[in-house]
Structure 1
Amino acid sequence: MTKFRTKLLFALITLIIAVLIGLGLLLGQIFKNFYLDTFNSRVQKEARLLASSIEENGTPKDINPNMIQELSDILDVRITIVDKTGKVVHDTEALESLVGPQQKRVIQEIQKNWDVKQKHKKLVTSGKEYRYYWYPLRSANDEMMGLLIMSTEVEAIEKGTQQIWFVLSISLGLALVLIIILGSRITVRYTKPIESATNVAIELAKGNYRARTYEDRLDETSMLSTSINILARNLQEMVNAQDMQQNRLTTLIENMGSALLLIDHNGFVVLTNRTFREFFNLKESQLKKVRYHEVIHYQEVNKLVEEIFMTEERLRKQILLPHKLDRKHYEVYGAPIIGSNDEWKGIVVVFHDITELKKLEQMRKDFVANVSHELKTPITSIKGFSETLLDGAMNDPDTLKSFLDIILMESDRLQSLIQDLLELSKIEKQGFELSIQEAEVAGLIEDVMPILQEKAKSKNISLQTSFDSRGTAEVDSYRLKQVFINLISNAIVYTPKGGTVEITVDENPDNVFVRVKDNGMGISPEELPRIFERFYRVDKARSRNSGGTGLGLAIVKHIMEAHEGNVEVESEVNKGTTFTVTLNKKWSSH
């Protein structure tokens, strides 16, 4: 802005100087002409007055030389009187004998032009420039008696002209200095607000919408500053609102559970969210100026996008896609983006992860199938043996007792299944509460050991306990006993005769750890993720013959989740299985 101010001031000064020079030349010439006209008029009038005086005193020869000399001194001019023959009668600077040939030539030239309207002329005499004025001398009867010639050096006249130029130059110079000072002040006054407004405009262009300019006067520049400030405030409010909306939209898109992909009309990836990038294992730097098929390597998804491009219609499709070591179900929804005037903008594709819904649906199907299967076996047995008894077998005491024993056993099995279902339903019910009290975990294991000893004894299995600590924790004793009974019972069921089941307890400052280890048949890696599902059995024939319902580990898992604890399993086929229960010493939810 300083450059602009300098340029403006320089242009203004140049214009003023040009105007002042032109004005000076014009005024100087006017003053010079006025001075010369005034001088010429004055000398002509003096010559006329002097001629009248000479005419009154007689002929040119009768003129008193002293009077002529006195008039010459008063008027500061050279006076020459010539008779009608051209002879010099009087000359205030030289006698006739001393009049030079140049002076005579001048007199002769004047005599030739004495009757012209112009009564003055500039001639060069003796190397100097003179201005001559003449007036005819006439007698009473209007006869030509001679000429009155008055002359003065042009240099004397030019000295007056130079003084005019000097005064005019000084005046215009002072005026120029004054104008420059005032112009500088006015330029600074009016360019400073413009400079401030320009700086604010530059800051606004850079994105600094908090920049403001000063508003200190009530004039046009103040209106500019006010307008700039109003514009800055409006831009700041608009940008703040836009940033807020952008942040909301970005937060929503980035944190939505579904994967999002936006493709432009040329097939280039425009927008993705974090879920999409995590699923396809991509980084933002990999998504710049790439087409969708370069980042999506699943043929089903690419076919869906191509179909939307061709049909320009919305599509919804369920697709099973591999993800790391797992497979996930996705409901893929794609829709074309059509702008105003039916302008094709691109495609939006959303991937909804429905894996858990599929699992729940499968679990529901499995649950119905398993419950039906588990109920069918004992009911079929009870019905079959009852019909047999009614058909006449009840008359045989031995057969009757044997069948009744079987019916009782199947009834117990049916009761156990229903009891486990009710227990699992109660645990899974919303609002299920534990009765938390401080207890020794080792003591709870000792309480359930007598119940399990008989079962282990029947298979000649050794139950061993090793308590490095008593493991005091805040737990629901009744529910925790259920956990230990189920885990130890499973260990006994899946351990061959003569095997060993070992229960250990240890702790750290925050947790208590209970491990149930057996040397039984073990569980394969493929089956480990499913052992906590309802009705899932590793060895279906053995577990069913043992009277198990397939709900024990599901109950264990839910009880441990209610305790905010954890249950983990490690197993190796034909070598054994270890279940580890982790309990918090302090229950944080009470």
Structure 2
Amino acid sequence: MNRLLSVRWRLAAAFFLVIMVLLSATGLYLLDWTENYYTGSISSDLRRESLAITRLVESSPQDVPDVIIRMGRDLGHRVTIIRADGRVLADSDSDYRKMPNHSDRPEFRQAMAAGYGTSARYSKTLKTRMLYVATSYGTKKISYGVVRVAEPLSGLDELMSAIQRTFLFAGLVAILAAAVISLKLASSITGPIESIASAARRLERGDLGARALARGKTAGEISELASAFNSMAEQLQNNMDEINRQSVRMRAIFDHTDNGLILADPQGRIEMINPAACRILSVDTPGSIRKTLIETTLSHDLASLVERVRRTQEPAALDIDISAKEKRFVYAYVTPVPMAESGVDMLIVLHDVTSLRNTDAIRRDFVANVSHELRTPLATIKAIAETILLRHEGNPAAMPGFAESIVQEADRMTLLAEDLLDLTRIETRPVDVAVERINLYKLVSDILDRLSGAAGKKNVTLESEIKQDEVIETDSGSLTQILANLVDNAIKYTPDGGSVRVYLERRPNGIAIKVTDNGIGIPEEDQPRIFERFYRVDKDRSRQSGGTGLGLAIVKHLCEQIGGSVAVKSAPGAGSTFSVLLPICIHSGESAT
């Protein structure tokens, strides 16, 4: 800014000096011209008067002093007659006899030499500045003397003083005008430059909308400069907008991809890390930046993989275990990424395969469990069949018992197959949920009646505390299967003489249908897994009771299909309570199918 101001003032000073020189030269020329014009005009008048007096002197040479006094009085000018040798012969204003020789006067010498002469000078006799005009008289060959007519220049001096005062006042006005004009001219040049400089500073501060504005009528070159600057700024803004858009897109992809992404510098310090990587590693983003991989992940396998890729400059992958808040299985892919400013960085892609590993483990467990569940009844059937082959003639009475055992084991395999088909059907395709009004009391009563035979064999009491007019809206078939499995499961794990109770609990967001028994209970550490397929707390007791290990898994999936959930509360020796949570309305006192 100071530099621009300096340029502005220097330009203004230059313009001011040029204007002042022109004005001064014009003023001096006008003053000189005015003085010369006025002097010339007076000289012409005085010359005419001197010529007239010359003719008068030539005609009356004896009465020259009296004539000159009379002429001076009539004309109002001083008239002097000077002889050729310089002696004064007559003067209208002074005693000519006392006047000195005038041969040295400039006008006298000019007139004697050329016949006419003028001089403007200070008169020591009259003590004032005078204009003298001299004309010689005599014959063509001989000059007898000079007639000199003089007029004081006091009038000219007063006129010139007035003109000078006028010029001085005009000069002051001209100085102010010159100053304003100079500043205007300087501003018209430096203003656009200052605008360009200001816009450049705003661009430097990050204001990409800054543009240079040409103020007033600027020179073509400066306008072109401002236009070029604005074009550059607009192109820069467009480029930055496109870069920002690309950056936003890349940041959105970086932040929302399911794969963990980490960018590490050649020293192994983390430069960037996305939320997915933080989730996989159980770390926070700000706390991970500039830390080493080993500090953040605590995984020597990952650090070694990155070091190997850095050393070989070839991509590599590895399955690693991450021991964070919870154990995770991660597929790590590392590739070198050339960076202009920092050499070669490492891009680490983390794919969480924990669910795949768990699914694979579940699949292996499922195959093993199915194989085990089928092998047991098949082994029993085979043993019974071999016994029949060996002893059928020796003990015919035992044949019915053997046949009954074969039927029981076959029923067990049939039930297992049916439960497997039901679970597969529920998991592979959604159940067609048909929401309808149902009488909950009637539905529960039908289930208890159907299972009363199994309960009677163990002397287990079945109780329903559902009101007769409780009507709910849900899928009847799914709820029937859910409650039947829970009641059947409660009967199996309740000792002889126990009880199973079904009741309804109202909640702000729906209802909870609860199945409670006073059976053996479930340890707390087993409760999170009881809804897994084939999971049994007591495997021997489960097989003796005829369970397949799939009932609670079916219950869980059916509850989710109809928009509900299932929960358990239990303790060893204190029985269990299974709650079916349904976000549905209750309609008391209404009829239902």
- State the TM bucket, normalised to the shorter chain: 0.7 to 0.9
2:489 pairs with 1:529: no
Give the match for residue 519 of structure 2.
520
SS at match of 1:114: helix
2:312 pairs with 1:317: no
In structure 2, C-alpha distance between the alignment counterparts of 1:98 and 1:583, rounded to whole Å: 150
Give the match for residue 452 of structure 1.
451
In structure 2, C-alpha distance between the alignment counterparts of 1:138 and 1:565, rounded to whole Å: 147
Give the match for residue 414 of structure 1.
413
The aligned runs of 1:341-360 (5 Å cut-off) are 344=343, 346-360=345-359
Q: Is the 8 A contact 2:521 2:572 kept in 1?
A: yes
2:537 pairs with 1:538: yes
Q: Is the 8 A contact 2:81 2:146 kept in 1?
A: yes
In structure 2, C-alpha distance between the alignment counterparts of 1:88 and 1:25, rounded to whole Å: 44
The aligned runs of 1:376-391 (5 Å cut-off) are 376-391=375-390
CA shift, 1:566, in A, is 0.8
Q: Is the 8 A contact 2:254 2:274 kept in 1?
A: yes
Q: Is the 8 A contact 1:209 1:235 kept in 2?
A: no
SS at match of 2:525: coil
Letter in 2 for 1:332: A
In structure 2, C-alpha distance between the alignment counterparts of 1:283 and 1:26, rounded to whole Å: 83
Render the CA deviation track for 1:65-97: whole Å, top value 9, x for unaligned.
465457657876533223355432212211135
Letter in 2 for 1:557: K
Q: Is the 8 A contact 2:107 2:132 kept in 1?
A: no
The aligned runs of 1:113-124 (5 Å cut-off) are 114=109, 120=119, 122-123=121-122
Give the match for residue 275 of structure 1.
276
Give the match for residue 332 of structure 2.
332
The aligned runs of 1:108-507 (5 Å cut-off) are 109-110=104-105, 114=109, 120=119, 122-123=121-122, 125=124, 128-131=127-130, 133=132, 135=134, 137=136, 139-140=138-139, 142-143=141-142, 145-153=144-152, 155-166=154-165, 168-169=167-168, 207=207, 209=209, 244-265=245-266, 267-280=268-281, 285-286=286-287, 295-324=296-325, 326-339=326-339, 344=343, 346-467=345-466, 471-507=470-506
Q: Is the 8 A contact 2:515 2:579 kept in 1?
A: yes
Q: Is the 8 A contact 1:472 1:585 kept in 2?
A: no
Render the CA deviation track for 1:543-579: whole Å, top value 9, x for unaligned.
1122211111111111111111111012223433221
1:120–1:381 CA distance, 2 compared to 1 (3 A): same
1:141–1:353 CA distance, 2 compared to 1 (3 A): closer
In structure 2, C-alpha distance between the alignment counterparts of 1:277 and 1:230, rounded to whole Å: 44
In structure 2, C-alpha distance between the alignment counterparts of 1:405 and 1:253, rounded to whole Å: 65
Letter in 2 for 1:308: V
Render the CA deviation track for 1:240-278: whole Å, top value 9, x for unaligned.
655554444333333322333333456554433333344
Q: Is the 8 A contact 2:264 2:346 kept in 1?
A: yes
In structure 2, C-alpha distance between the alignment counterparts of 1:111 and 1:184, rounded to whole Å: 52
In structure 1, C-alpha distance between the alignment counterparts of 2:283 and 2:261, rounded to whole Å: 13
In structure 2, C-alpha distance between the alignment counterparts of 1:138 and 1:394, rounded to whole Å: 197
Letter in 1 for 2:437: E
1:65–1:555 CA distance, 2 compared to 1 (3 A): same
Letter in 2 for 1:562: Q
In structure 2, C-alpha distance between the alignment counterparts of 1:24 and 1:75, rounded to whole Å: 40
SS at match of 2:403: helix
1:215–1:266 CA distance, 2 compared to 1 (3 A): farther
SS at match of 2:465: strand
Give the match for residue 590 of structure 2.
none
Give the match for residue 584 of structure 2.
585
In structure 1, C-alpha distance between the alignment counterparts of 2:59 and 2:69, rounded to whole Å: 17
2:95 pairs with 1:95: yes
Letter in 2 for 1:357: L
Deviates more, 1:424-433 or 1:73-82: 73-82
CA shift, 1:295, in A, is 4.2
1:360–1:195 CA distance, 2 compared to 1 (3 A): same
In structure 2, C-alpha distance between the alignment counterparts of 1:35 and 1:319, rounded to whole Å: 109
Give the match for residue 572 of structure 2.
573
1:292–1:31 CA distance, 2 compared to 1 (3 A): same
Deviates more, 1:545-554 or 1:378-387: 378-387
1:51–1:313 CA distance, 2 compared to 1 (3 A): same
SS at match of 2:489: helix
In structure 2, C-alpha distance between the alignment counterparts of 1:194 and 1:74, rounded to whole Å: 73
CA shift, 1:486, in A, is 2.0
2:25 pairs with 1:30: no
CA shift, 1:15, in A, is 5.5
Letter in 1 for 2:87: K
Q: Is the 8 A contact 1:474 1:584 kept in 2?
A: no
CA shift, 1:140, in A, is 3.4
SS at match of 1:534: coil
Structure 2 unaligned blocks of 5 or more: 587-593
In structure 1, C-alpha distance between the alignment counterparts of 2:474 and 2:27, rounded to whole Å: 118
1:228–1:32 CA distance, 2 compared to 1 (3 A): closer
In structure 2, C-alpha distance between the alignment counterparts of 1:6 and 1:484, rounded to whole Å: 94
SS at match of 2:442: helix
Letter in 2 for 1:447: D
Letter in 1 for 2:90: H
In structure 2, C-alpha distance between the alignment counterparts of 1:241 and 1:504, rounded to whole Å: 64
Letter in 2 for 1:263: A
Aligned residues: 578
In structure 2, C-alpha distance between the alignment counterparts of 1:274 and 1:554, rounded to whole Å: 33
1:348–1:68 CA distance, 2 compared to 1 (3 A): farther
CA shift, 1:157, in A, is 3.8
In structure 1, C-alpha distance between the alignment counterparts of 2:581 and 2:560, rounded to whole Å: 11
- TM (normalized to structure 1)? 0.79
SS at match of 2:413: helix
Deviates more, 1:278-287 or 1:17-26: 278-287
In structure 1, C-alpha distance between the alignment counterparts of 2:76 and 2:390, rounded to whole Å: 179
CA shift, 1:236, in A, is 6.9
1:365–1:145 CA distance, 2 compared to 1 (3 A): same
CA shift, 1:387, in A, is 3.1
Deviates more, 1:567-576 or 1:178-187: 178-187
Structure 1 unaligned blocks of 5 or more: none
Letter in 1 for 2:536: R
